[in-house]
């Protein structure tokens, strides 16, 4: 394969490319879905192919093929070069891609139990046991349990001398209980995934009161039922406490996306939107309170956004994004980083072989504080504790947002006093993070795996992680009507 790729890179240079890379992705997915105790879907999906990216006259061209023969690959190179020449026709100025040193390396996701090597029946039985727990409450009329298993072999080579191979493995689960009754429908779900093996699904989780998935499923069942008769979250302004799982989504939407530098530079303006974190704010804008410290890190063990190298051959790394509230840095690619005089921090990724790499989240995280959730609740006179995302909506600069949660509890005088259904909250992003006054500690911190981050045209789905822990925000507008 390496020899074939070298020929393709030589051909790109012969056709006038100043830079080219060739990327093989051989990907397997094996989703299993159980519904109401029965196997609803079981499949194995395989895709393999090569993406070719070239720069000609300072403009990009990309083409991809699934047939990996010399003839087809050289045709694909030719097509990519022709596309790059067309790109150069509408261009304000050529892209300045600063050269980097070629790297030869191999990376493999650490894991113990590869789901693709396991007996499928064992996986089905595991999921069916969880599904049974989801239905322990009679009000639950629909249960769903889904296994997430993805395996990728990647080879990246470039005209700069890169030759990087990676074997990546992801494992995760999604479970949901839908209760119907009392004229209402309420759902509770739980989702998590890691880079690693099936062993993760068999553990108990210190960040979740040492519960295992079976206990979590049991709790979801009873919570979905209880929500049917719970009071609706009132419209009020006050203290909002978010659980770790909900804060992960908050970080994803109001920090992760706004710090994508391609978005800041307008690359997503006509579709996914831009960002309020424009470049003049770098280093001199208070994104949040002094309790807010955010970082990206593609080296976090088990983080769903962890890998060895990104799809431009840049090594996985950690970057501080917000320090004591001050906004410092972005997620960057080689192209976008050069526009602000920086080097890429290794976050340029593509879904599969057939898409262009672009700036994506890796693991975007909040640093733990020194509270516990119990202490935060005890310290709250009147507020609402919300957990698990239900809906999310933001304006096209990621300033004004409205998020809904699945479940909430009213807090009065330091205690949970009643369950609430249909909770929601709305705020402006910098004011929201600026009102953060308590962040829970490492003990409740976890990198939540989110295997469904959508961006770009055609839409690419990235699998990302968010290290999060419970946190409190002051004077927030709550209730769907706000």
Partner 1 sequence: MLGKERCREVLKKALEYSKANHTEAKLVGENFNLTRFANSTIHQNMNRVLSQLQVRVIFGNKMGVATTNNFDDESIKQVVQRATLLAKVSEGNLAFKAFPKASNYNEVNNYYETTANYSAEQRAEDIATIVKHADDFGFSAFGAHITTQDELAIMNTDGVDVYDLSTYAYLRTVVEGPNGTGYADQLNRDVSKIDADEIGKEAAKRCNMSQNPQSIPTGEYEVVFLPYAVADIVRFPAYIGFGGQPFEEGRSYMAKKMGEKIMGDNISIWDDAYNENTLNVPFDAEGVAKKKVDIINNGVASNVVYSYVTAKKYDKEPTGHSSFRRGSNYEIASNLVMQGGSSSVEEMIKSTKKGLLVTRFHYTHCPEPGKVVMTGTTRDGLFYIEDGEVKHSVKNMRLTDSVLDMLSNVDMISKDRKLQRDWWSTFTSYLPAIHVTNVNWTGSTLF
> What part of residues 117-156 is at the interface with partner 1 (CB under 8 A)?
120-121, 124, 141-142
Tell me whether residue 296 or residue 424 sits nearer to partner 1 (CB atom): 424
Record the tokens describing residue 233, joined without a space.
């979250």
User: Counting Cβ atoms within 10 Å, is residue 108 exposed (0-12), middle (13-18) or buried (19+)?
Assistant: exposed
Tell me whether residue 109 or residue 143 sits nearer to partner 1 (CB atom): 143
Cα angle, residue 122 at apex, residues 117 and 123 outer, rounded to 5° = 75
CB under 8 Å to 396, separation ≥6 — which residues?
269, 273, 274
Tell me whether residue 6 or residue 48 sits nearer to partner 1 (CB atom): 48
Stretch that binds partner 1, among 75-83, 152-160, 361-369, 409-417 (CB under 8 A): 75-83
Tell me whether residue 46 or residue 231 sits nearer to partner 1 (CB atom): 46
What binding mask, one character per residue, do residues 31-60 give for partner 1 by CB under 8 A, x or -?
-------xxxxxxxxxxxx---------xx
Helical residues (DSSP H) of 235-276, grouped into ranges: 244-251, 261-264
Stretch that binds partner 1, among 81-89, 148-156, 310-318, 461-469 (CB under 8 A): 81-89
Which secondary-structure segment (H or E) carries 338? helix 334-339
Record the tokens describing residue 121, joined without a space.
């029946």
Report the nearest approach of partner 1 to the CB of residue 88 (Å): 8
Considering only 9, 11, 21, 62, the residue that binds partner 1 (CB under 8 A) is: 62
Report the nearest approach of partner 1 to the CB of residue 285 (Å): 14
- Beta-strand runs (E) in 356-423: 358-359, 364-366, 382-394, 400-412, 415-421
Stretch that binds partner 1, among 188-196, 410-418, 452-460, 468-476 (CB under 8 A): 452-460
Report the nearest approach of partner 1 to the CB of residue 452 (Å): 13
Nearest to 94 by CA among 106, 85, 81, 107: 85
Report the nearest approach of partner 1 to the CB of residue 387 (Å): 15
Does residue 82 touch partner 1 according to CB under 8 A?
yes
Residue position matching structure tokens 């998020």: 403
Tell me whether residue 415 or residue 457 sits nearer to partner 1 (CB atom): 457
Tell me whether residue 341 or residue 458 sits nearer to partner 1 (CB atom): 458
Report the nearest approach of partner 1 to the CB of residue 39 (Å): 5
DSSP 165-200: EEEEEEEEEEEEEEEEETTEEEEEEEEEEEES-GGG
Considering only 2, 112, 182, 270, the residue that binds partner 1 (CB under 8 A) is: 270
Report the nearest approach of partner 1 to the CB of residue 184 (Å): 6
Considering only 9, 265, 468, 471, the residue that binds partner 1 (CB under 8 A) is: 265
Cis peptide before 295 (omega within 30 of 0): no
Does residue 457 touch partner 1 according to CB under 8 A?
yes
Report the nearest approach of partner 1 to the CB of residue 260 (Å): 13
β-bridge mates for residue 18, sequence order: none
**Window 387-426: residues binding partner 1 (CB under 8 A):** 390-397, 399-400, 402, 404, 422, 424, 426
Stretch that binds partner 1, among 210-218, 259-267, 365-373, 462-470 (CB under 8 A): 259-267
Sign of torsion, CA 304 308 310 311? negative
Nearest to 453 by CA among 362, 323, 321: 362
Report the nearest approach of partner 1 to the CB of residue 403 (Å): 8
What binding mask, one character per residue, do residues 284-323 give for partner 1 by CB under 8 A, x or -?
----------------------------------------
Q: DSSP 3-state assignment of 478?
A: strand
Report the nearest approach of partner 1 to the CB of residue 167 (Å): 20
**Window 197-256: residues binding partner 1 (CB under 8 A):** none
Cα–Cα distance for residue pair 311/317, rounded to 1 Å: 14
Tell me whether residue 302 or residue 455 sits nearer to partner 1 (CB atom): 455
User: Counting Cβ atoms within 10 Å, is residue 151 exposed (0-12), middle (13-18) or buried (19+)?
Assistant: buried
Report the nearest approach of partner 1 to the CB of residue 57 (Å): 12
CB under 8 Å to 266, separation ≥6 — which residues?
274
Does residue 1 touch partner 1 according to CB under 8 A?
no
CB under 8 Å to 400, separation ≥6 — which residues?
394, 426, 427, 428, 429
Cα–Cα distance for residue pair 35/175, rounded to 1 Å: 10
Report the nearest approach of partner 1 to the CB of residue 34 (Å): 10
């Amino acid at each position: 394969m390496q020899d074939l790729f070298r020929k393709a890179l030589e051909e790109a240079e012969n056709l006038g490319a100043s830079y080219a890379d060739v990327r093989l992705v051989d990907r397997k997915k094996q989703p299993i879905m159980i519904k109401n105790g029965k196997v609803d879907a079981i499949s194995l999906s395989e895709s393999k192919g090569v993406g070719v990216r070239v720069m000609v006259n300072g403009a990009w061209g990309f083409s991809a093929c699934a047939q990996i023969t010399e003839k087809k690959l050289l045709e694909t190179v030719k097509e990519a070069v022709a596309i790059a020449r067309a790109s150069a026709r509408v261009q304000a100025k050529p892209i300045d891609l600063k050269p980097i040193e070629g790297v030869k390396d191999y990376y493999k996701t650490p894991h113990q139990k590869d789901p693709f090597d396991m007996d499928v029946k064992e996986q089905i039985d595991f999921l069916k046991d969880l599904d049974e727990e989801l239905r322990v409450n009679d009000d639950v009329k629909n249960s769903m349990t889904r296994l997430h298993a993805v395996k990728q072999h990647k080879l990246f080579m470039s005209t700069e001398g890169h030759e990087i191979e990676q074997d990546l493995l992801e494992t995760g689960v999604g479970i949901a209980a839908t209760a119907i009754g009392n004229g209402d429908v309420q759902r509770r779900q739980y989702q998590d995934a890691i880079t690693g093996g099936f062993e993760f699904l068999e553990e108990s989780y210190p960040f979740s009161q040492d519960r295992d998935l079976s206990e979590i499923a049991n709790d979801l069942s009873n919570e979905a039922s209880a929500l049917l008769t719970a009071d609706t979250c009132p419209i009020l302004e006050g203290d909002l406490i978010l659980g770790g799982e909900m804060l992960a989504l908050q970080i994803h939407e109001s920090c992760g996306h706004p710090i994508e530098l391609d978005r800041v530079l307008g690359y997503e303006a006509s579709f996914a939107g831009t960002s309020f974190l424009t470049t003049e704010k770098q280093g001199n804008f208070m994104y949040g309170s002094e309790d807010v410290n955010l970082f990206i890190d593609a080296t976090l063990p088990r983080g769903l956004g962890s890998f060895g190298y990104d799809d431009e051959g840049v090594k996985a790394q950690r970057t501080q994004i917000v320090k004591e509230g001050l906004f410092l840095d972005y997620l960057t690619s080689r192209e976008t980083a050069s526009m602000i005089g920086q080097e890429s921090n290794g976050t340029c990724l593509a879904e599969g072989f057939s898409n262009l790499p672009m700036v994506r989240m890796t693991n975007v995280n909040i640093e733990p504080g020194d509270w516990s959730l119990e202490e935060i609740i005890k310290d709250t006179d009147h507020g609402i504790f919300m957990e698990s995302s239900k809906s999310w909506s933001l304006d096209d600069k990621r300033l004004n947002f409205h998020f809904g949660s699945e479940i909430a509890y009213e807090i009065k005088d330091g205690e949970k006093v009643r369950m609430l259904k249909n909770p929601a909250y709305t705020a402006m992003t910098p004011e929201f993070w600026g009102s953060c006054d308590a962040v829970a500690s490492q003990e409740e911190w976890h990198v939540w795996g989110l295997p469904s981050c959508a961006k770009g045209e055609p839409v690419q789905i990235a699998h990302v992680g968010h290290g999060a822990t419970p946190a409190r925000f002051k004077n927030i507008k709550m209730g769907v009507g706000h």
